[in-house]
Copies of this chain bind each other. A is one copy, B any other.
């Protein structure tokens, strides 16, 4: 999705607000919002990619206006609606209008959740059966594909040529996970691009920009 969230290379956002932005949480409600969005991933359930996709689907003006953690709540609310666990009216009024089947949407115990958070998610797959299409050192081009759903190929790399500098094995594919199609595991690579390849004669210097890209984002160049 080529939405406003895909900020790489855009102008118009002024200097980095370092002085005023050097905090994680500024208000107590931000802590609650963060924890709520994390916690609801269990019973609803939803993945990080689905949650990101809902944030990306916000109107661009809202994306720029809302607080970061309010966006997390917007994303969680959208996923609750899609799962049929809340109604628009419930969200509007805060008053419960119907019960949900908690057996099918069991709440997550705090200690269990912390244990999972501490051990981490399972994002990669044994790669014995899949041979990587690209090798380290190979020149590749990011496809020009511009899907309307969640994708992790940023717009500033679309159609650009770089060099594979690392292969990471097989990972769940964010586009597929966000679309609800399951993991569709794929090889993932780090690709290095010259600043000149990305910004032409307006590149600041002879630097390198790296991104981690799934195999289906790439084609031989």
Contact = CB atoms under 8 A, between A and B. Distances in A.
Contact of A65 (B1, B61, B155): B61
Contacts of A2: 9-11
A157 B9 CA distance: 15
13 contacts: A2-B11, A3-B10, A3-B12, A12-B56, A12-B63, A61-B61, A65-B65, A143-B200, A144-B160, A144-B198, A145-B200, A146-B200, A155-B155
A35 interface: no
Contacts of A60: 4, 10, 12-13, 64
Nearest to A58: B12
Interface of A: 1-4, 9-14, 56-61, 63-65, 143-148, 155, 158-160, 196-202
Given A2-B10, A12-B58, A146-B198, 17 more contacts: A1-B11, A1-B12, A2-B11, A4-B12, A4-B60, A12-B57, A13-B59, A64-B64, A144-B160, A144-B196, A144-B197, A144-B198, A144-B199, A145-B199, A145-B200, A145-B202, A159-B159
